[in-house]
Amino acid sequence: MRYYQLTPITDRTATTARWSITGKRRWGLPGTECPRCEAGGSTIGLIYPSVDLSPLPEEREYRKARVVSWDEYVRLRDAVLPLMPPGAVVKPGAAMGPLVGHVRGHPPLVAMDLRHLYVQPEGAERLLAAGLRGIKPEPTSLKVGRHVAPILELEVLVGGDYAPECRPEKLGDPCPVCGTQRRGLTPYSWWLDSAGLPDTDLFRFRPRPGYIVASERFVDVLHSLGDTGIQATTIAPPAPHNAGAPS
Ligand SMILES: [Zn+2]
């Protein structure tokens, strides 16, 4: 099975899709810094639209993006853990709940902006009817124009890893406080560990959750929908060296 990285096409001459979303996630974990190893900041792309924090008494504390002390972060993180989907990666900056805002224009049946995948109900049906695994359409609080179908967001869980031959080397042991494993340089060219693929046709790449990876089966359905404004770039190891071929 081939795998592809999905990215939105930004060249306006290469797609007829014209739409945009202005929105804000309802809840999120704050940023922080580990007092032991100083790892911190926020991880981009850990997004869980299905998670509802409204039952938490401290729900309001998750509404504003901010940076807090490590202890404060741990308290807020531990309170949300029981609400997260199985296998969720939870780090500073993880975002939860529906997107609140509005949609301009007419998004395609399956649409993508920098870090999110959206579907109209018909797009979700097409993906599910094809038997694709890991398709989780979640409601949004995005207002759409008249005569525009409601828009849902796909919850894309984290999975996969670099193949061993391009995996950045571990530097020292994981931090005993926050668990961060320092690593060497990220490879410019990378491909997937075929032994560690998740059982799904769509996932966020564990080392870089901002990257969305789709199987060939997913991309086939995507292409059957016409111009979605989404580009699928093959993720593959370099071709084996062919002795005698012209260099
Ligand atoms: Zn640490």
pLDDT at 247: 46
Beta-bridge partner residues of 137: 154
CB contact at 8 A, 192 and 3: yes
Beta strands 95-105; 208-215: pairing state: unpaired
Centre of ligand 1 to C-alpha 182, Å, is 10
Centre of ligand 1 to C-alpha 179, Å, is 6
- Give the Cβ contact number of residue 128 at 10 Å: 15
Centre of ligand 1 to C-alpha 10, Å, is 37
In angstroms, rounded to a whole number, what is the distance separating the alpha carbons of residues 234 and 2? 7
- pLDDT tens, N- to C-terminus, the chain (247 residues): 899 999 999 888 999 988 999 999 999 999 999 999 988 778 889 999 999 999 999 999 999 999 999 999 999 999 999 999 999 999 999 999 999 999 999 999 999 998 899 999 999 999 999 999 999 999 999 999 888 899 999 999 999 999 999 999 999 999 999 999 999 998 889 999 999 999 999 999 999 999 999 999 999 999 999 999 999 999 998 877 655 545 4
What is the pTM assigned to this prediction?
A: 0.92
